[in-house]
Amino acid sequence: MQDFMQFLRTRRTYRRFKQTPVPAAVVDDILEAARIASCGANRQTLKYLVVQSPEQVKTVNGLVHWAAYLPPEQGTPKPEECPTLFIAVFQDDALPGANDTDAGLALGSMTAAAWSHGVGSCIMGAIDRPALCNLFGTASSLRLHSMVAFGYPAHESRVVEMHDGDVRYYLDDARDYCVPKRPLSEILLGRI
């Protein structure tokens, strides 16, 4: 594996993908990363649904919203750029203790496991939950937390310097994503 800090720098959000399917072994690693993720009191309240058939992926893609900071012609993948896989992350209300921290840790582990195989991802919260749950036919006790889109990236993404506190990502001339992050001097309160 590449240097771990370089791994973290490049494990970004990707929104345009090659049309090469994600191999089953990689899907298994993503699910294993979710399964063994840390969670409060080890309660394990999260459930997952894999969307991998091209027809279902296409339907799901119509129910998620891409790149709020960009006009659709820049931020929404064209049909030949769409993800090849989605995984739905649910909180199971039939179990006690569901919380967003657990979901975040699982999402972080899943997307890192994918990236270790060169598979890029986009965590998605701007999703049509009622329509997706209707499509999936899942029990009402399962609350859809997020969708995650996966695929082999067709662009690059890099962290850039932030100017005037502007958090909005943008595309450069090569249509690669530039993601401004606050400098350490702004986020580090001190070292005591």
Q: How far apart are CA 46 and CA 48, in angstroms?
A: 7
Tell whether residue 17 is a contact of ligand FMN (CB under 6 A): no
163-182 positions binding ligand FMN, by CB under 6 A: 169, 179
Q: How far is the CB of 4 from ligand FMN (least distance, A)?
A: 17
16 or 47: CB nearest ligand FMN: 16
Q: How far apart are CA 55 and CA 64, in angstroms?
A: 15
Q: How far is the CB of 17 from ligand FMN (least distance, A)?
A: 13
Tell whether residue 86 is a contact of ligand FMN (CB under 6 A): no
Tell whether residue 183 is a contact of ligand FMN (CB under 6 A): no
Stretch that binds ligand FMN, among 26-34, 38-46, 87-95, 118-126 (CB under 6 A): 118-126
Q: How far is the CB of 48 from ligand FMN (least distance, A)?
A: 16
Tell whether residue 13 is a contact of ligand FMN (CB under 6 A): yes
Tell whether residue 12 is a contact of ligand FMN (CB under 6 A): yes
37-66 positions binding ligand FMN, by CB under 6 A: 65-66
Q: How far apart are CA 15 and CA 84, in angstroms?
A: 11
**Residue 5, burial from CB neighbour count under 10 angstroms (0-12, 13-18, 19+):** exposed
39 contacts: CB under 8 Å, gap ≥ 6: 45, 46, 102, 105, 106
Stretch that binds ligand FMN, among 23-31, 42-50, 119-127, 135-143 (CB under 6 A): 119-127
Number of neighbours of residue 25 by Cβ within 10 angstroms: 8
List, as own/partner pairs, every contact residues 169-173 make where C-beta atoms lie below 8 angstroms and the sequence separation is at least 24, other chains included.
Answer: 169/67, 169/69, 169/70, 170/69, 170/70, 171/70, 171/74
Structure tokens at 175: 């249509």
Structure tokens at 95: 């179990």
10 or 138: CB nearest ligand FMN: 10
Stretch that binds ligand FMN, among 36-44, 46-54, 88-96, 123-131 (CB under 6 A): 123-131
Q: Which residues bind to ligand FMN, rule: CB under 6 A? A: 12-13, 15, 65-67, 122-126, 157, 169, 179
